[in-house]
Amino acid sequence: MNVLNFRDIELNDRETIEEYTSAWAFECSEFTFPNLYTWGVNGHIKMCEHENVLYIMPCFGTVCICAPIMKHKDGDFNCALAIAREYFDSVGKPMIIRSISGPLKQLFEQRGMALEEDRDNYDYVYSAEALRTLSGKKYHSKRNHINQFKAMYRSEYVKLNSGMLDECMEMYDRWVSTKNDSAFGIKEEKQAIKRLVPNMEQLSVCGCGIRVDGRLEAFSLGQLINKDTALIHIEKANPDIQGLYPFINQQFLINEFPDVEYVNREEDMGLEGLRKAKLSYNPTGFVEKYIYREC
């Protein structure tokens, strides 16, 4: 019998979800409410609260759940796993648990459950000061690109607000026109942005844009996940304007996150170009994530 009844995540679920996640001080991006809510548009991420355990289900293909989150750290994790296993049995699928990270990883290991690395979904973590200053030899090319951008274009930094959705979507559509619009995640990301920007105040998300000759050519959205770390949810820029990506990357941190020590720039999803770009900013480490599978 299935006791887990998953449903869509709504804006008013923030308090409930954060009551669970705050106790664990997660560093991974998946369990932030803005990510769950915005990427959950059209039922792509669902939730179920059952006996003081939060179950999150990504609905992007393979049937799986994220690591169960107990409301209290001393809760019965064996029971939480048993309920999860019961759910998978009810739908006739092997149990697959993703987004196992931080303190939750120990709970699986203590039970002798073999985990596999999910490298494609590791979050990239950087020194915020390094990305604000871009000093040193390893950032030489980034500084050059920014200097070329400043020399060639007249730009303006603007704070993003919830009324700028149309501008953001116009810019996003221009960005998509340079890509294969059937590529992985494009449609989902577009829907996520449409949900994120109008609700950024309620989600405690801030953003910035760069106008070039009066037109929005780049925008970025992020949040504080703790007093030391900023998380960047979205960053888009016109790829034909050289230096615009490193410029908005730097300026967003300087203006909106001047005091944080670290920046989490999320995962590369196994995309070769995105991995190369993220590595080019010299991460100081990763938020590792793991998968548990039962055959």
Distance, CA of 142 to CA of 148 (rounded, Å): 10
Q: Which CATH class is domain 7-121?
A: alpha beta
Residue 96: HSE in the Cβ half-sphere, 13 Å Cα cutoff: 15
Annotate 223-249 with b (16+ C-beta within 10 A) or e (fewer): bbbeeebbbbbbbbbbeebbbbbbbbb
Q: Give the CA angle between residues 95, 97, 100 to the nearest 5°.
A: 160
Distance, CA of 142 to CA of 134 (rounded, Å): 7
Distance, CA of 31 to CA of 9 (rounded, Å): 13
Tens digit of pLDDT at every position of the chain (295 positions): 678 999 999 999 999 999 999 999 999 999 999 999 999 999 999 999 999 999 999 998 899 999 999 999 999 999 999 999 999 999 999 999 999 999 999 999 999 999 999 999 999 999 999 999 999 999 999 999 999 999 999 999 999 999 999 999 999 999 999 887 566 688 899 999 999 999 999 999 999 999 999 999 999 999 999 999 999 999 999 999 999 999 999 999 999 999 999 999 999 999 999 999 999 999 999 999 999 999 7
Instruction: Locate CATH 3.40.630.30 in the chain.
Output: 7-121, 123-266
Distance, CA of 111 to CA of 124 (rounded, Å): 28
Tokens standing for residue 158: 């603007």
**Sheet containing 155-159: order of strands:** 155-159, 206-212, 215-226, 229-237, 262-264, 123-127, 285-287
Query: Tokens 């829907």 sit at which residue?
Result: 191
Distance, CA of 281 to CA of 270 (rounded, Å): 17
Please give the CATH topology (third level) of the domain spanning 123-266. Aminopeptidase (3.40.630)
Largest CA distance in the chain: 66
What predicted TM-score, i.e. pTM, was given to this entire model? Answer: 0.95
